[in-house]
Amino acid sequence: MRTPVQGLAHARGCLKTGACAVPCLDERMRSAVGGDWRMRVAISKLAHAALCRDWRMRNTVSSIAHAQCGSKRGTCLVIFPGSREERSRSEHNLINIQKTHERMQTENKISPYYRTKLRGLYTTAKADAEAECNILRKALDKIAEIKSLLEERRIAAKIAGIYSDAEPPRKTMRRGVLMTLLQQSAMTLPLWIGKPGDKPPPLCGAMPAAGDYVAKPGDKVAARVKAVDGDEQWILAEVVSYSHAANKYEVDDIDEEGKERHTLSRRRVIPLPQWKANPETDPEALFQREQLVLALYPQTTCFYRALIHAPPQRPQDDYSVLFEDTSYADGYSPPLNVAQRYVVACKETKKK
Per-residue pLDDT at 281: 92
**pLDDT < 50 regions, the chain:** 1-55, 57, 69-77, 162-163, 165, 352
Q: Compute the distance between CA of residue 338 and CA of residue 186 in angstroms, rounded to an integer.
A: 9
How many Å apart are CA 153 and CA 250, to the nearest integer?
A: 20
Q: What is the pLDDT of residue 174?
A: 79
> What pLDDT does residue 265 have?
95
Q: What is the pLDDT of residue 83?
A: 67
What 3-state DSSP class applies to 281?
A: coil
Check if the beta carbon of residue 321 is closer than 8 Å to that of residue 293: yes
Q: How far is CA 207 from CA 325, 343, 346, in A?
A: 27, 11, 13
Alpha-carbon distance of 217 to 155, in angstroms, equals 8
Cα 268–Cα 204–Cα 52 angle in degrees, nearest 5: 165
In the chain, where does DSSP find H-type helix? Answer: 4-17, 22-33, 37-47, 56-69, 73-79, 82-107, 112-160, 175-187
DSSP secondary structure string, 187-215? HTSPBP-PPTTPPPPTTBTTPPPPTT--P
Question: In the prediction, which pLDDT does 4 show?
Answer: 37
CA distance 350 to 209: 22
Provide the CB-side half-sphere exposure for 153 (13 A, CA).
10
pLDDT of residue 64: 52
pTM (2 d.p.):
0.66
